[in-house]
Structure 1
């Protein structure tokens, strides 16, 4: 799975991973991060998620990174906002009031380019990545954000029944990636209605990752 895989998904409109509504789990559990209004939230592999509009409407600032420029253009069209497009450390940045979206490979993004963030909302990044690169991703994410707290949403199911993405990520893997740096709390575990992609039983889990005192 490489960059071309995701570019083709967007170009061919095969974006079943894009929710047509704001994720209700974000609405239910975002307050667990205990952030003040105006906090800057990082969304890795953000696509054109409607969750961004919800965060902006609730007086938070948003920064994201997305491989597909098509997705980023569609995001701003959906927001009804005309962005300024600039180059920053070799990456294009789409900017408007309270929002910055970088176009390119997440692993090419640096902490200096990203700037300070107060929290991470990972609803589509960890589950999108094959097992072979998830450790690289989680290490990079913590370095990028100086281990900012996270609201993390994952699917859990029998991986032998369905090829990802989204991939199955259970509590043992969450522990492996994050337990040394965060206190982990499962906020909710709910059955996916109709099964994942209508093919197998699955649960959607919401994790709160808070910094250790």
Structure 2
């Protein structure tokens, strides 16, 4: 997907993927990670998800990355947060308390920024990317997160032939192929959500599941 596609979606308000409340699956499974309160959590392709505010309320330092300036502005406005801003080679940084959103390309993140993230939450990124770009995402973003980094990845599974993405179908086999070399993984939850997603039914999708994957980055010194 080209950057302009997502910018246009936000300009036209075509953001059916956005949820007004924190994702219940996040609230249910995040505590199992037992992360330090002050850890830095990467939220790629964050949009204006209220999940970031929930993560910040747990004491975490939240680092969102988002292409659309509208999404970034709307997030802070909707939460009544005034921001400090500065530019860097990786984008425009918007900071309010323990929430920072970089308006820029996730592929432009530098090594130091990614190395500072000891946790991640991926609800909208991996499913937003078509296969070739998804492989690049695993190779260039996840591969630079530090050993011991852990987090939750929320995916969707449906017959891809029945609907064009995004969001794309990413099943357990896809996750394994992309991440098993460098990450320890387990599936924490998988549930049928077709009845609660009318836009998928209207598109002709006959089966829809969501899964929550727990990933933990392996020690790079461990031979594979």
Same fold (TM over 0.5): yes
Q: How many angstroms does 1:193 deviate by?
A: 3.9
> How many pairs were matched up?
213
- 8 Å contact from structure 1 (residues 119, 149) kept in 2: yes
CA–CA distance in 1 between the matches of 2:127 and 2:151?
A: 15
Displacement, 1:32?
2.1
Q: How does 1:116-155 map to 2 (within 5 A)?
A: 116-147=116-147, 148-155=149-156
Residue 12 (structure 1) shift:
0.4
What is the CA-CA distance between 1:106 and the residue it aligns to? Answer: 1.0
Aligned to 1:20: 20
Q: Name the residue aligned to 1:54.
A: 54
Question: What residue number does 1:79 align with?
Answer: 79
Pairwise CA distance, 1:90:
4.6
The C-alpha deviation readout for 1:152-182, integer Å capped at 9, x for no partner, is: 0000110001111110011111111111111
Structure 1 residues 97-118: Cα deviation after superposition (integer angstroms, max 9, x where no partner): 1111111111111122456012
Alignment of 1:1-213 (within 5 A): 1-114=1-114, 116-147=116-147, 148-194=149-195, 196=197, 197-199=199-201, 200=205, 201-212=207-218
Higher mean C-alpha displacement, 48-57 vs 104-113: 104-113
Alpha-carbon shift at residue 144 of structure 1 (Å)? 3.6
Change in 2 beyond 3 A, CA 1:82/1:144: farther
Give the direction of change, closer, same or farther, for the CA distance of 1:137–1:185 in structure 2 (3 Å limit).
Answer: same
Q: Which runs of 5+ in 1 are unaligned?
A: none
> What is the alpha-carbon distance in structure 1 between the residues aligned to residue 144 and residue 184 of structure 2?
19
- Alignment partners' CA distance in 1, 2:188 and 2:88: 37
2: CA distance, partners of 1:46 / 1:90: 16
- Considering only aligned residues, what root-mean-square deviation do their CA atoms show, in Å? 1.5
Instruction: Find runs of 4+ consecutive structure 1 residues off by over 3 angstroms.
Output: none
Distance across 1 between alignment mates of 2:181 and 2:114:
24
Contact 2:118 2:146 in 1 (8 A): no
Please tell me whether the aligned partners of residues 110 and 144 of structure 1 are also in contact (alpha carbons under 8 angstroms): no
TM-score by length of 2: 0.90
Q: Secondary structure at the match of 1:29?
A: helix
How has the CA–CA distance of structure 1 residues 144 and 101 changed in structure 2, closer, same or farther, with 3 Å as cutoff?
farther
**Which of 190-199 and 129-138 deviates more?**
190-199
Q: 2:141 is paired with a residue of what secondary structure?
A: helix
- Please state whether the residue corresponding to 1:48 is helix, strand or coil: coil
Does the CA contact (< 8 Å) of 1:111 and 1:143 recur in 2? no
